[in-house]
Structure 1
Amino acid sequence: MATGGILIETRAVLTGVGAPCVRRCYAGVSGKPKSVTHSCRTFTASAQACLPKAPQLAQPTSTWNPIRGKVRSSYGVTRVPKDSFSKRIAHKLSLPRFKARSGDVRILQTPAAFYDEVRAIIGRAEERIYFSSLYIGKGETELIDCIRQALRKKPYLKVLLLADALRSTREGPLTEANGKINGSGASLLAALVRDFPHQVDVRLYRTPGLPVWLEKVIGKRLVEGAGLQHMKIYGGDDEVIISGANLSNDYFTNRQDRYVHVQRHRLLSNYLHSLVLLTSRFSYNLKASAAASSSLTHHAPYDLHWDDGSDLLLSEDEDGNVTEEASLSIAPKKSKEYAFAETAGVALREFTDRWRIHTEAAKKRRAQDERADDEVDTFIVPVIQMGPMAIRQETDAMPLLFEAIEQQEAPIQETLPAAVKKGRLPAPRATIDFTSGYFSLYPLYKSLILKAPTSIRTRIITAAPISNGFFGSKGISRHLPPAYTWLESKFWDAVKREGKKKSIEIREWERDGWTYHSKGVWHTSSTQSAPTLTLIGSSNFGSRSALRDLECTLLIETAPSSSLSRSLKKEIDALREHATVPVNTELFRREDRKVHWGVKLATELIKGRL
């Protein structure tokens, strides 16, 4: 499957629907539906699997309500409250808020499902593909071949790939010796640009103000701590996946992350495509070197050019559409190669205001269609965090979220019956589930968790040292797992000092042969049994995410009876299934958890970059 694969098109007439439903799936080289195993990954290429399934009726959920002393059913609660969390946060921060149907929002559970769906998006795309990732693995020739095939079949298809410059060029220039290629993510993408110059844009972001000499003195790997392009957005046409996963083999096989797939939503897809386009205007244009030959199929020498985005193939127009002719996303003034932070910040704030107006206009249009509005049971608020450009939507939104949850729970606590107040019956508590593969919580988030009332239970999942992606690595990065252990132990000490051991729980995720990279937040109110709100995206919720990296997260709120709420419960339950190591004082006394004093000192010095 290094180069092959065709699209199989199947048609089925649904009961009660006159027009045929067309679905596409990616099949093997022979064109026959089959299951193909490749590079330690398996994907189903069955045409039958692409046929629409029979609609599933929403099942009622119920929970014991100590206040009423009876079971309260959430069946029929099909709408998000008018004064919802997403509405309050979007209003206070002037952010765009998108309406959606829960049936169009899927939670993917596994790396294999993520890989399959990324390939499927490529195969289904007719107009555009836009991917934003920290990096694309230098060995991901199969994924690139999938894009190549789509480009050959569809000459009007346009592809935009955004990655980080430091991470994508870490291996250095392309070399070939004794038949062995020393390539990089950049050289892999350069060959794609070489072969499809009129269809493919590749942009590499480099954090502003980072001097070239520093990279040469301490090396690219260490200088990456200054900041990276970290958004994980994988879109095509009217669908998009938001995740924390990059595009490389371990993220497709045995590195657990989170993935949300939003389908049939052109407005949201236009927003995210426009965001990637805008970021690309402050990034280098990657081109194959003029002397690059085509002797190597998958790699080519490359050059990086600063062009202010003037050579981008697509752009956003004044109505929020992405076209070849529009030029709205061009920066208001020429940006400097190493000092574009202020210009980019202005452009990003204008972008947010512009899209808030677009979503409000879409809301007014939908209000005229009562049937369409009745189907809405989910809202999506994109939250951007770009510290170098002074864009702080995530760090502004998180305190508002905690405040709203406390305000929601306060009336419940005030009306508790005497039996509950005296401890004879358990009190209802809201639950905030919080996870990050790297335990380096931003100080503001630590404070919010520690100061939350005891009526809110916080459950934290983080990676055990052996499940940390840096465990057993070479060089200085091998010290990162104990560094995170040190930060975790300090937070546990703070939990004890605040007397919150009963309301804050920390567990470590551990699964044989796997690493843990999930990040996000789930909220379940005290009157529900499943989450109705989640934050999902690229942010690790640490100081680096808050201050240095480019992050994109979706705040998604859904109705209690929706299929999405049940999917969110299934997701957090699956993650907690492997969160089997309870964090307590005894854990940090174990010999294998002892942290060298040098690591402690270094961690305190660089914790703002973790």
Structure 2
Amino acid sequence: MLTKMKNISDKTMCLYRHLNQWSDLKVFEWTNGSPMFGLNSHQIQVIKSPNDFFNELKRLSMKSKKRITLSSLYIGTGDMERDLISGIECTKQKELSLKVNILVDYNRATRLTRPDDHNSSTKAILQPLTKFGAQIGFYLTPNMSGWRKWFVWRREKWSELQSLHHIKCYIFDDNVIISGANLSDIYFTNRQDRYVLFKDCPQMADYFDELIQTISSFSYQLQSDGNFELHKSWPYNPLNYFQRNQFKSEAKNRIEKLKNRFRNKINLNDLNECKTIAIPLIQMKTLDISDDQYFTSKLLSICGSDSEVGLASGYFNLTQEYKQIILNRNWFKPLKLLMASESANGFFEGKGVTAYIPKVYTLLTKTFLNEIKENKCNVYLNEYSRPKWSFHAKGLWLALDPMIFLSMIGSPNFGYRSVYRDSEAQVVVITKDELLKQKLEDEYNSLWKYSSVVNDMTIKNNLVNVPIWVNIVVKLFKSYF
């Protein structure tokens, strides 16, 4: 449990002073100019279970009148997903002025989940919505241009290795759900993630709505006949190698303009009246946008070694930067890391090569566990294990005495893919409100209660009969996991 501290180090006090006054410019330095939104505790609801997540999506989609904007890696093709999309279609038919915008990843969302069944893709599920005026974008990274296109193009999952649109954000009028969960039945039933609803937050909803529309503007647009076209305002094809630099430069420029416009709307006096602030962070390294990486490294570097920190990563593969920050600190209070056990890994019992992916993460864990022992760090690795459940949650919890609690909620796993390859977003919630602090701490405890400490015996048992080629893959292709 993240308990309150009695003694506070100088570094922690330094951090506390920066966070205690929202208008302190130091916070702006950490965020690379991202906007801030002042909130009250009643506006933030922690959704506890996958089924509650699905029910909330359904409830909000049925009552929306102004807009529905969804951003996900993909949307599944099962009955629950069809039910959700059908509900949105019904709402659109009743509310003719309702705007529907959906953004998914091109490679993942065009892949068939059942061979030879052309109705078994996200594209097929979403295509009927285009007849009702829905704008549906399929983001394709410009990193797919050139030789990579010919090497992996249309080789099923291989085309997804390079980079993915991984932002999970669901907007209904002025309500925003920030999550790491995709819109698929497994995320609605027995795959544990995090889901936080920000209620009646028009400015925050406007920001994420415009962010998704901005990314969609340089994505392929699904047409009612099933074909794709570039957005009418976008001249650069992501598959054209010779337009690659222009694509990246203009895409970054559009996102930075959006950030600046919302940052300039901040009223610092109003902000300081609130007990809670929310800071959205974007990570799109392929476009040279690294807000999330910068904030996270600053936070881990500057928080006191007697701060209590919990960090969850569904797919555990910390970057070298994050590892070094953690390993070089003399943690008085233990830093606790939570990851999926092999049986809770999303690729557990996969087919073919994918069946060995959980072993890859075990090997990465083994390396980090050895580094913890070598540096004599007060760091504990825990693995989530729950019968017939998988684990996909990610985030950070930081308790500071006497008043501050911080949590990071969203799609990044703090690993190589999240930092260097995929498009990510998360929200930093910083609060002085006792009720909200308790909600976030309860969420933390509910995740850790299904975990146990990882030790040498755990690793040894999991690495029995692992082929040598898996070790080679870990060494050569670590940045792809």
Residue pair 1:174, 1:182 contacting (<8 A) in 2 also: no
Residue pair 2:301, 2:325 contacting (<8 A) in 1 also: no
Q: 1:527 to 1:100 in 2, by over 3 A?
A: closer
Establish whether residue 350 from structure 1 lines up as the match of residue 257 from structure 2: yes
Residue pair 1:80, 1:558 contacting (<8 A) in 2 also: no
What amino acid is the match of 2:460? R
TM-score by length of 1: 0.72
Q: 1:594 to 1:584 in 2, by over 3 A?
A: farther
SS at match of 1:230: coil
Show the counterpart of 1:381: 279
Residue pair 1:89, 1:401 contacting (<8 A) in 2 also: no
SS at match of 1:384: strand
Deviation at 1:96, TM superposition (A): 1.0
SS at match of 1:522: strand
Matching of residues 474-493 of structure 1 within 5 Å:
474-493=351-370
Deviation at 1:65, TM superposition (A): 2.9
Distance in structure 1 (CA, Å) of the matches to 2:27 and 2:281: 10
Establish whether residue 400 from structure 1 lines up as the match of residue 298 from structure 2: yes
Matching of residues 35-74 of structure 1 within 5 Å:
63=4, 65=6
Deviation at 1:97, TM superposition (A): 1.2
Instruction: Name the count of aligned residue pairs.
Output: 460
Which one of the candidate residues 541, 552, 563 is aligned to 2:435? Answer: 563
Which one of the candidate residues 427, 444, 456 is aligned to 1:572? Answer: 444
Q: 1:594 to 1:438 in 2, by over 3 A?
A: farther
Deviations 1:79-110 (A, max 9, x none): 961168x9633234222111111110111111
Establish whether residue 98 from structure 1 lines up as the match of residue 37 from structure 2: yes
Deviation at 1:220, TM superposition (A): 2.7
Deviations 1:139-162 (A, max 9, x none): 221111110110111111110000
What amino acid is the match of 1:554? V
Matching of residues 418-429 of structure 1 within 5 Å:
429=306
Matching of residues 584-595 of structure 1 within 5 Å:
584-590=455-461, 595=466
SS at match of 1:226: coil
Distance in structure 1 (CA, Å) of the matches to 2:351 and 2:409: 31
Q: 1:546 to 1:574 in 2, by over 3 A?
A: same
SS at match of 2:187: helix
Deviation at 1:592, TM superposition (A): 5.2
RMSD: 2.4
Q: 1:545 to 1:401 in 2, by over 3 A?
A: same
Unaligned runs of 5+ in 2: 9-15
Q: 1:248 to 1:591 in 2, by over 3 A?
A: closer
Deviations 1:545-593 (A, max 9, x none): 111110001011001x43211011100100111012x112222222655
Show the counterpart of 1:337: 238
Establish whether residue 107 from structure 1 lines up as the match of residue 46 from structure 2: yes
Residue pair 1:109, 1:571 contacting (<8 A) in 2 also: yes
SS at match of 1:493: helix
Matching of residues 83-482 of structure 1 within 5 Å:
88-92=26-30, 93-139=32-78, 140-171=81-112, 182-194=119-131, 196=132, 198=133, 200-211=134-145, 212-216=149-153, 219-289=155-225, 302-308=226-232, 310=233, 334-338=235-239, 339=244, 340-358=247-265, 360=266, 362-363=267-268, 366=270, 374=273, 376-406=274-304, 429-482=306-359
Show the counterpart of 2:387: 512
SS at match of 1:235: strand
Deviation at 1:477, TM superposition (A): 1.2
RCO greater where, 1 or 2, for CA within 8 Å and sep 6 or more? 2
What amino acid is the match of 1:405? C
Deviation at 1:399, TM superposition (A): 2.1
What amino acid is the match of 1:443? Q
Residue pair 1:479, 1:599 contacting (<8 A) in 2 also: yes
Q: 1:563 to 1:182 in 2, by over 3 A?
A: same
Q: 1:91 to 1:216 in 2, by over 3 A?
A: closer
SS at match of 2:236: coil
What amino acid is the match of 2:258? F
SS at match of 2:383: strand
Distance in structure 2 (CA, Å) of the matches to 1:472 and 1:523: 34
The structure number with the bigger radius of gyration is 1
Q: Which has the higher helix share?
A: 2
What amino acid is the match of 2:287? M
What amino acid is the match of 1:90? F
Deviation at 1:116, TM superposition (A): 1.0
SS at match of 1:155: coil
Q: 1:568 to 1:287 in 2, by over 3 A?
A: same
Show the counterpart of 1:607: 478
TM-score by length of 2: 0.90
Q: 1:285 to 1:499 in 2, by over 3 A?
A: same
SS at match of 1:512: coil
Show the counterpart of 1:324: none
Residue pair 1:111, 1:256 contacting (<8 A) in 2 also: yes
Deviations 1:324-368 (A, max 9, x none): xxxxxxx7xx3333321221112222222222112x2x445x38x
Distance in structure 1 (CA, Å) of the matches to 2:5 and 2:39: 30
Establish whether residue 521 from structure 1 lines up as the match of residue 458 from structure 2: no
Unaligned runs of 5+ in 1: 1-60, 68-76, 290-301, 311-330, 368-372, 410-428
Residue pair 1:256, 1:516 contacting (<8 A) in 2 also: yes
Residue pair 1:431, 1:526 contacting (<8 A) in 2 also: no
Deviations 1:167-216 (A, max 9, x none): 0111189966xxxx64211011012213x1x3x11100011131442334
Distance in structure 2 (CA, Å) of the matches to 1:189 and 1:64: 50
Q: 1:605 to 1:103 in 2, by over 3 A?
A: same
Residue pair 2:170, 2:177 contacting (<8 A) in 1 also: yes
Distance in structure 1 (CA, Å) of the matches to 2:369 and 2:278: 33
Residue pair 1:539, 1:553 contacting (<8 A) in 2 also: yes
Greater mean alpha carbon deviation, residues 280-289 or residues 246-255: 280-289
SS at match of 1:159: strand
SS at match of 1:460: strand
Residue pair 2:359, 2:462 contacting (<8 A) in 1 also: no
Identity value in percent: 30
SS at match of 2:34: coil
Deviation at 1:458, TM superposition (A): 0.7
Deviation at 1:276, TM superposition (A): 0.2
Deviation at 1:63, TM superposition (A): 4.9
Greater mean alpha carbon deviation, residues 115-124 or residues 232-241: 115-124
Distance in structure 2 (CA, Å) of the matches to 1:100 and 1:235: 17
Distance in structure 2 (CA, Å) of the matches to 1:190 and 1:173: 18
